[in-house]
Amino acid sequence: MAEVAFAKTFLTSLDSRPIKLSPDHVEDPKTFPPRPPYILPRMPVPMSKPTQTRLPPGAEPSIPVHLKSLRNPPLDISLPPLPLSTSVIDLKAAVQAQTRIPVDKMKLLLNKRPVADSKVLKELLASDKDRSIEFSLESDAFWADLSGFLQQRLKAQAKAEELASLFRSSWQASRSS
C-alpha cells in the first residue's frame, strides 16, 4: 500500500512541472565553435596489397595424386588431377574403386605419421616439403604391433598372442566373406 501512495505523490509532483522546456535551455547551433576534422595518424609501415589473385569459381588448382603402398600387396596407383579441397576419405574411396580394398582397412601416412580422414590435400601439402604422401595398408607389421600392444597392456605374453591371433583370424574371415 505504501508503494501506491508513493507513486501517487511522485506523479502529482511531476504534474506541477512545466511540460515544455524553457527557451533558455535550447542553444543556437550557429554559435557553436567550429570543430576541426579528426584525421587519423599515418601508419609507420604502409599496408601491402594482397598478392593472391582470386580464381573464378570452378578454377581451383588441382594436382595429380600418385599413391604407393610400402607393404603387401604392392600398389602403385595414379589418380587423375584432384582439387586441393579433396579430403583423405575421398582419396581412400577412389583407391577402393580401383582396388576393391575396404576404406576402413586403409591407412594414409604422411612423413611416416597417420593422417586423419578429415584432412584435405591443401593442408597435407602445406605441411610437407617434398609434396609426397605414403600410402600403406595393414600387414604383418600391423599384427606384430597389435601383439606388442596387447602384451604391454595385459602383461601376459601367451594371452596377448592368443588374442592377436583371434583378431587376425576373425579379420581374415570377414575379409573373405
Cβ atoms 113, 107 nearer than 8 A: no
Task: Please write the tens of the pLDDT for every residue from 82-137.
Answer: 888 888 899 889 888 888 888 888 888 877 788 888 888 888 877 655 555 444 64
Mean pLDDT of 7-20: 84
Sign of CA dihedral 74, 118, 66, 102: positive
Measured between alpha carbons, how far is residue 65 from residues 1, 77, 82, 154 in Å? 84, 8, 7, 41
| Whole-number Å distance between alpha carbons of 167 and 48 | 59
What pLDDT is recorded for position 136? Answer: 61
Task: Please write the tens of the pLDDT for every residue from 43-96.
Answer: 888 878 776 666 666 677 788 888 877 776 677 888 888 888 888 899 889 888
Task: Report domain extents, the chain.
Answer: 62-137, 141-172
The answer to whether residue 6 scores a pLDDT higher than 90 is yes
Q: In this predicted model, which residue has the larger pLDDT, 169 or 26? A: 169
**Sorting pLDDT into bands at 50, 70 and 90, what band is 5?**
very high
What pLDDT is recorded for position 103? Answer: 85
What pLDDT is recorded for position 137? Answer: 41
Measured between alpha carbons, how far is residue 51 from residues 2, 47, 48, 84, 101 in Å? 73, 12, 8, 20, 43
pTM above 0.75, yes or no: no
What pLDDT is recorded for position 46? Answer: 80
The answer to whether residue 147 scores a pLDDT higher than 80 is yes
Own/partner contacts of 167-172, CB < 8 Å, gap of 24 or more, are 167/143, 168/143
Nearest alpha carbon to residue 108 among 93, 92, 131, 90: 92
The helix or strand, by DSSP H or E, that contains position 127, with its residue range, turns out to be helix 121-127
What pLDDT is recorded for position 83? Answer: 85
**Fold of domain 62-137:** Ubiquitin-like (UB roll) (3.10.20)
Residue 171, SS3 per DSSP: helix
Burial 3-42 (b: 16+ CB within 10 A, else e): eeeeeeeeeeeeeeeeeeeeeeeeeeeeeeeeeeeeeeee
